[in-house]
Amino acid sequence: MSLLRVRGLAIDYATKGGTLHAVSRGTLDVGAAEVVGLVGESGCGKTTLARALTGIVPRNATFMGGEIVFEGRDVLNGPPDAWRDLLWRKISFVPQSSMNALDPVYRVGAQMTEVLRLRGGMGRAEAATRSEELFAMVGLDPRRASEYPHQFSGGMRQRAAIAMALALHPALVIADEPVTALDVIVQRQVLDTLRDLQSRLGVSVLLVTHDISVVAYVCDRVVVMYAGEVIESGTTRAVLEAPRHPYTMGLTNAFPDLERAGGTLAPIAGAPPDLRAPPQGCRFAPRCPFAQARCRAETPPLTIDADGHASACWRSDEAAALAENAKDPSTWTLMSTSAA
């Protein structure tokens, strides 16, 4: 039974320009001690979905439906206190390394001990030692605890955020684009730290990113989202090497492979739909080179095959042929009716 089971999660945003259906079909699983990548481009709803798992959503967001089952209990439709009780004890969060994920007027150490004492029930002394332990664990000099967030570099802020997330031995850590803003060397070092702590502590991680290479480097399984819907999920190898949804094929094509000779990259023409008025049928149809009449009429369900590889495409049984076709850039360039 998976640690986290999300089925048909739907979230809307009330905005000036009308209701934005940010997430329409959030369906994914995270097993125990497993690293799951949640991948998609900007605006696909991956951050909304990931943050919603903590129950903390912006003022103008509302849960429209679905279920979030954590350790067997549906926290979304259950008593709110039960969900809040899990926060940081069972589920914790690593933010994108924006400057103000840490409170600028408090020392970093103080913010660490705050959560240890208030949510971990630790005394002052116990919290202090645990805090030093956590700093050392993520490769930060414990003496840095007395400094303020603006005195930390990007890499150090992310390490502090990881330490804070692991403070109370959570079962699930949700990391929202944790390394996106970092340089490639620091990014690799932080990912290595995250990966080896994950395996050592046996914690599950849901890693949100737009970078397929980060998924390939760190994740056991991957979930692909497009225009508010989960359109494919499975083991990283299966999804990257034998994608069953044309969007995943296009996405993997668009990532240049440093070691392979540089073939021409194939862009996906057009742009994602406006989620205030999502199109009928499959939302990728307008940009999909393999779209058929049926794709524009009916929304394809998320079907799972024998070894757990799910995809939402009417032609996923012809995936092997389509994938081969998708490797040739001309399939995509013919599609470019209007410039990208």
Partner 1 sequence: MPSLMRALRLPQNDPLAIIGVTIYVVFLLVALFADVLASDPFEILFTEDGNLAANLPPSLAYPLGTTNLGRDIFSQLVIGTRSAFLVGLTAAGAVVALGTIVGLVSGYFGGLTDQILMRLADIALGIPFLPFVIVLAAFLGPQTQNVVLAITVLLWPNTARVIRSQVLTLRERGFVEAARVAGSSDLRIIRVHIAPNIMPLSLLYGSIAIGWAILTEASISFLGFGPSDSISWGGMLQDAYASQALSRGSYYWFIPPGLCIVLVVVAGFFISRGYEEILFPKLKD
Partner 2 sequence: MRSVAIRFAQMLLVLWAVATILFFLFRLMPGDPTLAYIDTTFTAEQQEELMRQFGLDRSLAEQYLLYFANVIQGEFGTSFRSKRPVFTIIFEVLPNTLALTVLSITIAYIFGVLVGAWLAWRRGSIAEAVGIPLVLTLRAAPEFWLGMVLLAIFAFGLGWLPSGGANSAGMQFSSTFDRLTSPDFLRHLILPAATLALYLQGLPLLLMRSNMLDVLQEDYVMMARMKGLPEWRILLLHAARNALLPVVTAFALGLGASVGGNVVVETVFSWPGLGRVLVDAVASSDYPLAQGAFMFIALILIVMNFVADLLYTVLDPRVSHG
Partner 3 sequence: MDAYVHVSGLSKTFPVSRDIGQVLRGERPVVHAVRSVDFSIAPGETVGLLGESGCGKTTTGRLLLKLVEPTEGSIRIGDKVLAGLSGESLRGFRRDAQFVFQNPFDALNPRIAIGRSLAEPLINAGIPREEHAERTRVVLERVRIRGTELLERYPHEMSGGQLQRVVLARALILEPRFIVADEPVSMLDVSVRAGILNLMRELQDSLGLTAIYISHDLALVRYVARRTLVMYLGSLVEDGPTEDVIHEPLHPYTKALIAAVPLPRVTQTRDPLPLRPGTPDARKVGKGCPFVNRCPAAMAVCEIERPPLVAVAAGRRVACHLMPAAPLRAAGSLAPAAS
Q: Which residues bind partner 2 (CB under 8 A)?
A: 51, 54, 56, 59, 84-89, 92-93, 95, 98, 100-105, 114-115, 118-119, 147-148, 150-151
Task: Based on the shown chain and the rule CB under 8 A, indicate whether residue 213 belongs to the binding site for partner 3.
Answer: yes
Residue number, 148 or 217, with CB nearest to partner 3: 217
CA distance linking residue 323 with residue 100, whole number of Å: 42
CA distance linking residue 64 with residue 206, whole number of Å: 22
Task: Based on the shown chain and the rule CB under 8 A, indicate whether residue 72 belongs to the binding site for partner 3.
Answer: no
Task: Based on the shown chain and the rule CB under 8 A, indicate whether residue 16 belongs to the binding site for partner 1.
Answer: yes
Residue number, 13 or 93, with CB nearest to partner 1: 13
Burial of residue 80 (number of CB atoms within 10 Å: 0-12, 13-18, 19+):
exposed
Find the shortest distance in angstroms from Cβ 339 to partner 3: 5
Residue number, 74 or 274, with CB nearest to partner 1: 274
Task: Based on the shown chain and the rule CB under 8 A, indicate whether residue 77 belongs to the binding site for partner 1.
Answer: no
65 binds, among partner 2, partner 3, partner 1, none (CB under 5 to 8 A by kind): none
Task: Based on the shown chain and the rule CB under 8 A, indicate whether residue 15 belongs to the binding site for partner 1.
Answer: yes
251, 285, 291, 310: which one binds partner 3 (CB under 8 A): 251
Task: Based on the shown chain and the rule CB under 8 A, indicate whether residue 330 belongs to the binding site for partner 1.
Answer: no
The token pair that represents 142 in the structure block:
């414990």
15 binds, among partner 2, partner 3, partner 1, none (CB under 5 to 8 A by kind): partner 1
**CA nearest neighbour of 164 among 192, 202, 196, 133:** 133
Residue 23 and residue 223 in contact, taking contact as beta carbons nearer than 8 Å: no
**CA nearest neighbour of 174 among 77, 68, 62:** 68
Residue written as token pair 């240049």: 256
Task: Give the total of residues touching partner 1 (CB under 8 A).
Answer: 4
Task: Based on the shown chain and the rule CB under 8 A, indicate whether residue 106 belongs to the binding site for partner 3.
Answer: no
CA distance linking residue 313 with residue 332, whole number of Å: 18
**Residues in 23-62 that interact with partner 1 by CB under 8 A:** 60
DSSP output for 70-128:
ETTEETTTS-HHHHHHHBTTTEEEE----GGGS-TTS-HHHHHHHHHHHTT---HHHHH
Binding site for partner 1 (CB under 8 A): 14-16, 60
